[in-house]
Amino acid sequence: AQTVTQSQPEMSVQEAETVTLSCTYDTSESDYYLFWYKQPPSRQMILVIRQEAYKQQNATENRFSVNFQKAAKSFSLKISDSQLGDAAMYFCAYRTGTASKLTFGTGTRLQVTL
Amino acid sequence: KAGVTQTPRYLIKTRGQQVTLSCSPISGHRSVSWYQQTPGQGLQFLFEYFSETQRNKGNFPGRFSGRQFSNSRSEMNVSTLELGDSALYLCASSIGLAGSVDEQFFGPGTRLTVL
């Protein structure tokens, strides 16, 4: 069974600084996708970034980028120039290419301080 | 385009009752997935419906059921409620065509409290 592990329950970063959230996963599949979702206090889950396992290049979306290490099964999220609006729960998630079921990690609560 | 809507947003029930939650996907989306979010178990996949058929199912007891209508709206039902069913229930919609990995858009959730 596929599992997703987030070992950092909470992280804190100062405004304008950079923070990295960790995620590891376990799978025997070759065709899979990885995601980072953000869940602010309003509770609505928002997709931050996605990575296709077959792509070697790390995905980037504005201030958000990932470090995808396929052999190590590691998928970390880097947030640059952190903003107060980045404060939220961040979930790492996995799915295969054939089923839409998302398997989530336990989440990392990110605090952004002035 | 309107986002995913879920009704009701909040619900209080007592043990033994049943409950029905509703999810309206984004227009044109045919796949609806349901997730349960609790502090103890995190986010867990319940089931997915596509074109009125259950396409995937998670590891939940038979008390949890769902269906999808021809307009892609979906309902989930929980019978004989237990205290442990208290959770935030999220639905997510996507276009859902086989072989495509399109973005899933989440609704705001229904907060169910079982007393």
Q: If pLDDT is split at 50, 70 and 90, which confidence band does B101 have?
A: confident
* pLDDT at B104 (0 to 100): 93
pLDDT tens for residues B9-58?
999 999 999 999 999 999 999 999 999 999 999 999 999 999 999 999 99
How large a percentage of chain B has pLDDT more than 90?
A: 90
Phi and psi torsions of B85, nearest 5°: -85, -5
Q: How confident is the model at residue B115 (pLDDT cuts 50, 70, 90)?
A: very high
State both tokens at A104: 């989530």
Top residue of B47, B104, B105 to mutate, by most chain A CBs within 10 Å, is B104
Task: Tell whether B71 is within 8 A of chain A (Cβ).
Answer: no
B-chain residues near A44 (CB < 8 A): 106-109
Reported as a single tens digit per residue, the pLDDT across B72-94 is 999 999 999 999 999 999 999 99
Asked if the C-beta of B41 comes within 8 angstroms of chain A's C-beta atoms, the answer is no
Yes or no, beta carbons of A105 and B42 under 8 Å apart: yes
CA distance B16 to chain A (A): 27
Say how many C-beta atoms besides its own lie within 10 A of residue A16's C-beta: 11
- Please list, in sequence order, all residues whose beta carbon lies within 8 angstroms of the beta carbon of residue A20, skipping any fewer than 6 positions away: A67, A76, A77, A78, A79
Give B47→chain A minimum CA distance, Å: 8
Q: What is the mean pLDDT of residues B84-107?
A: 92
Quick check: A101 and B90 CB within 8 A? no
**A1 in reach of chain B (CB within 8 A):** no
The neighbour count for residue A102, using CB atoms within 10 Å, is 22
pLDDT in tens, chain A (114 residues): 789 999 999 999 999 999 999 999 999 999 999 999 999 987 799 999 999 999 999 999 999 999 999 999 999 999 999 999 999 999 999 999 888 899 999 999 999 999
Radius of gyration of chain A (CA): 14
A-chain residue closest to B40, CA distance: A106
C-alpha to C-alpha distances, B106 to A79, B37, B92, nearest whole angstrom: 22, 13, 4
Give me the pLDDT at residue B98, please.
77
Residue of chain B whose Cα is closest to the Cα of A38: B106
Q: Closest partner residue to B94 among A100, A103, A107, by Cβ?
A: A100
Question: Which residues pair with residue B21 across a beta bridge?
Answer: B76
